Structure 1
Amino acid sequence: MDPLSITAGIVGIVAPTLHCVRLLVEDLQNIADAPNTVKALTNNLQSVELALDSLGAVTDSQWESLGDAITTQSKATITSCKTSCERFKTSLDRWTRHSTDGTLSWRDRATLGIFRQDHIKSISKQLQQCNITLTSVTSIATLTQLLQQAQAAEEIKTIISTKETAVNNAITATNDQSAEVSAQLVALTLAEPGEGETDADQASATKQVAMEKKALHESRMLFEELLFVIQTAAANARADQGTTITFGNNNSGQQVGVNSGTITATFGRRG
């Protein structure tokens, strides 16, 4: 694996995504009396901006430690975020075509019906998931670096346990959200356009929720890879010291027993 090509590939996706996010934040901040859902979206965009900036600081060696699968899934997550932001910006321009001077006109405000509200809420949730996912990647990248350094055994175990719990919780939350999104897709298909809305609004909202579902699937795959990296990196870092490391209490993943010499570890991914 060429670490320079990894960094270049990530930066090549992060930079245009950051540009897109910042343009959308600027557009939303120019709406002086925006609804609360729009203000919440602005906050989520700013959180993603910070997450992308942090991801850009991950070093070549850290990406190499994380591996190809996490690199690929990280790129997919960023790309999905960019696509949703671009689509939303197009919709926002259409929704606010009657507004001027940064003030959302009563006509445009009245047309923010059920499909448009669902579109806004869906992209907000996708951005929240993107923030959690990318922040987790940066966090685990830092963990792999720590595991390569001399650390007290108990400190290592505490760090690993905390990170593993966080990733497992993220997997559970992602599964729950995916089920909710599947139900929402069905509801959108059956719903009727509200006053001022069109079939195009329904199609736009449905596409966004479908994109959110796709992004959740990508996040789930990435979290599974991160969990595997946590367990593998920890065992490899401590193998030559005969250290006992126990991973969580979820009855899954790797378990290592007491060994006075070299540890022989068996790894398996969860299905």
Structure 2
Amino acid sequence: MDPLSITAAVVGIAAPAAHCIHLLFGDLQKIVDAPETLASLKRDLLSVDQALASLQAVSEPQWKLLGETVISQSKAATISCKESCDRFRTALGRWTRHSEDGKLSLRDRAMVGFIKQGYVKSMSEQLQHYKLTLTSVVSIATLHSSLQQTQVTGEIMAMVCQREAEIADSITATDKQLAEVNAKLGPLCMAKQEEDETETDRASAISQVAVEQIVLGESRKLLEELLSSIQAAAANARKDQAQVVNNFGAENEGMQIGVSYGAISGITFGKK
């Protein structure tokens, strides 16, 4: 197998996603009087762009430590991110079709600032979840590498425990958001079409929330897999480091303990 096969595949997916993010950012940048709902998206896009750059820097050995499931889910999340940005660019073009020279017409400003607030908020939340999942992948990849060291320090194990807690909290928060999205999707489908809103706009808004539902579900699966992966790696590290004994002294007598995560037994003090 080509030693760069996994890395090359990830870069091959991440690069188009980053390009699409740059295009959407450029579209938003052209709207000089954009309402805050759109301006905030630029910050979300920049954070996801940074996460994609970090993802592309994950090495081949690190990907292999993460395993096939995480690799597959990471690719899927990256592709989903590109598709979300593509859809939003298309929608943005429809919303600003009456505007010129980067200045929103009153009609388009009303469309973006009021009618499409829910759509924009949904897109923002999607971007935040893409950032969360991708940065979590990078963080766990780094920890996996640290756990492969001959001597796993207490500091590294503390970092592992911290990341375990953070990912568990992220899963809980994702569950809460998923429940909220599920609750609003039904009423959104039943809501009447707003004034100046086309059927295409309405269908697009419903589709956006439905996509958010999918993104949250996929994000949760990836977070669960990362949690399971780092827990297993940490358990193996603790097992390997369960008892570290070094003899010392002029006659090789005595015992010195470096780091111990297990019980210590069979100790005899005194000279042989």
Give the TM-score normalised by structure 1.
Answer: 0.86
- What is the DSSP-based 3-state SS (H/G/I as helix, E as strand, rest coil) of the residue aligned with 2:112? coil
> Gaps (5+ residues) in structure 1?
245-256, 262-271
Q: Provide the residue aligned with 2:258 in structure 1.
A: none
Q: Provide the residue aligned with 1:54 in structure 2.
A: 54
- What is the DSSP-based 3-state SS (H/G/I as helix, E as strand, rest coil) of the residue aligned with 1:194? coil
1:99-114 maps to which residues of 2 (within 5 A)?
Answer: 99-112=99-112
> Gaps (5+ residues) in structure 2?
245-260, 266-272
CA RMSD of superposed structures (Å): 1.9
Letter in 2 for 1:94: R
1:259: Cα distance to partner? 4.3
Q: Tell whether 2:250 aligns with 1:258.
A: no
1:260: Cα distance to partner? 4.6
| Rounded Cα–Cα distance in structure 2 between residues aligned with 1:189 and 1:115 | 15
Post-superposition Cα deviations, 1:206-230, rounded to whole Å, max 9, x if no partner, equal 1111111111111111011111111
| Rounded Cα–Cα distance in structure 1 between residues aligned with 2:217 and 2:48 | 18
Letter in 1 for 2:179: A
| Rounded Cα–Cα distance in structure 1 between residues aligned with 2:225 and 2:57 | 20
| Rounded Cα–Cα distance in structure 2 between residues aligned with 1:243 and 1:66 | 27
1:240-251 maps to which residues of 2 (within 5 A)?
Answer: 240-242=240-242
1:146: Cα distance to partner? 0.9
- What is the DSSP-based 3-state SS (H/G/I as helix, E as strand, rest coil) of the residue aligned with 2:101? coil
- What is the DSSP-based 3-state SS (H/G/I as helix, E as strand, rest coil) of the residue aligned with 2:116? helix
- What is the DSSP-based 3-state SS (H/G/I as helix, E as strand, rest coil) of the residue aligned with 2:126? helix
- What is the DSSP-based 3-state SS (H/G/I as helix, E as strand, rest coil) of the residue aligned with 1:112? helix
1:68: Cα distance to partner? 0.4
| Rounded Cα–Cα distance in structure 2 between residues aligned with 1:224 and 1:203 | 32
Q: 2:152 touches 2:241 (CA, 8 Å); kept in 1?
A: no
1:119-268 maps to which residues of 2 (within 5 A)?
Answer: 119-151=119-151, 153-242=153-242, 258-260=262-264
**Larger deviation, residues 128-137 vs 106-115:** 106-115
Q: Provide the residue aligned with 1:14 in structure 2.
A: 14
1:92: Cα distance to partner? 0.7
Q: Provide the residue aligned with 1:268 in structure 2.
A: none
1:55: Cα distance to partner? 0.5
Post-superposition Cα deviations, 1:110-141, rounded to whole Å, max 9, x if no partner, equal 22375522211111100001101101100001
1:14: Cα distance to partner? 0.2
Identity %: 53
1:4: Cα distance to partner? 2.4
Aligned length: 249
1:235: Cα distance to partner? 2.4
| Rounded Cα–Cα distance in structure 1 between residues aligned with 2:118 and 2:3 | 41
Letter in 2 for 1:100: E
| Rounded Cα–Cα distance in structure 1 between residues aligned with 2:54 and 2:116 | 31
| Rounded Cα–Cα distance in structure 1 between residues aligned with 2:14 and 2:171 | 24
Residues 200/47 of structure 1: CA separation in 2 closer, same or farther (3 Å cut): same
Letter in 2 for 1:201: D
Letter in 2 for 1:187: P
1:69-84 maps to which residues of 2 (within 5 A)?
Answer: 69-84=69-84
Q: 2:37 touches 2:113 (CA, 8 Å); kept in 1?
A: no
Letter in 2 for 1:177: Q
Q: Provide the residue aligned with 1:247 in structure 2.
A: none
Give the TM-score normalised by structure 2.
Answer: 0.86
Q: 2:122 touches 2:208 (CA, 8 Å); kept in 1?
A: yes
| Rounded Cα–Cα distance in structure 2 between residues aligned with 1:153 and 1:80 | 38
| Rounded Cα–Cα distance in structure 2 between residues aligned with 1:157 and 1:84 | 37
- What is the DSSP-based 3-state SS (H/G/I as helix, E as strand, rest coil) of the residue aligned with 2:138? helix
1:42: Cα distance to partner? 1.2
Letter in 1 for 2:186: V
| Rounded Cα–Cα distance in structure 2 between residues aligned with 1:173 and 1:3 | 37
1:52: Cα distance to partner? 0.4
Q: Tell whether 2:81 aligns with 1:85.
A: no
